[in-house]
Amino acid sequence: MFRINKSLDTDCKPTVDTSENESGSIVRSGKTSKDRRPSPVVNKTGCARTEGYYKIPPEEKRKYVEYGIAGTPYATAAAPAPSPRESRAKRRELKARMADDNYGFNPLKSRERELTIAKSPIHHYGLFTLEKIKSGEFIIEYTGELVRQSVADLRERKYRATGIEGSYMFRVGDDTIIDATRMGNNARLINHSCEPNCNAKILNVKGAKKIAIYAKRDIQKNEEITYDYKFPIDNFDKIPCHCGASKCRGFLN
């Protein structure tokens, strides 16, 4: 009932490759002609250790890897170049974003400036830069504890009673103060100057008010970081200023 096609059965059989090795014995190979692999490259000197390293191209390496592992190489199509009109639009958008103070301000991701604390001719210790900073660049964030005005007044009296010289409080709103006296970073050591090299800006970052210190002009290496405290005028309790600027007002308030 069943007829076997011998010609078809013969075609499916693997070709047997008989060859003699050095010992004279016959070596049989059951691989098909499609599975045969090319012979390795013969070294010119006869010894691989005496030759240098020759980089094998990926196409050549693929011959020695199994088909299922190597896969089929696909050519990646190059992305089309943007038109001149699109390039101009992207440049205008980038300039508009860079003009905004909030652009690029993320204290956790911004590059930290190389700053150090040292003796200051203005007042006790100050913050100095160990690198050149260009005008308009972000330097450091003024961090601290966010409290209300009533809490800040109580803390200020407590600090004075315990002998703490001065408080490190920065107003960011009508009833919001950042107290960096006990929970702050090195930005609290920035001294006042009537001719400062930095500006303090209050930014609104994701609904939270932040204080960022930006360079007002180009700042040289080893120069002290300063900004204007802008204290309200007080005719009774004057705080003397020792910034040494040519246009020093004489008092902080």
pLDDT value of position 237: 83
> pLDDT (tens digit, 9 = 90+) per residue, 3-33?
444 444 444 444 444 445 444 544 444 455 5
Are residues 133 and 197 both part of a single domain? yes
CB-based contacts of 64, cutoff 8 Å, min separation 6: 37
pLDDT value of position 101: 56
Which structural domain, as residue segments, surrounds residue 240?
Answer: 113-143+185-253
**Distance between CA atoms of 95 and 85, rounded to whole angstroms?**
16
pLDDT value of position 4: 46
Where are the extended beta strands (E) located within 74-205? 115-119, 125-129, 138-142, 145-148, 169-171, 176-179, 191-192, 198-205
The verdict on residue 158 lying in a domain is: yes
The verdict on residue 23 lying in a domain is: no
The verdict on residue 5 lying in a domain is: no
Domain end among 132, 167, 183: 183
pLDDT value of position 12: 46
**Distance between CA atoms of 165 and 153, rounded to whole angstroms?**
15
Parts of the chain with a pLDDT under 50: 1-19, 21-23, 25-30, 75, 107-108
SS3 32: coil
> pLDDT (tens digit, 9 = 90+) per residue, 110-120?
566 899 999 99
- Running DSSP on this structure, what letter comes out for residue 55? P
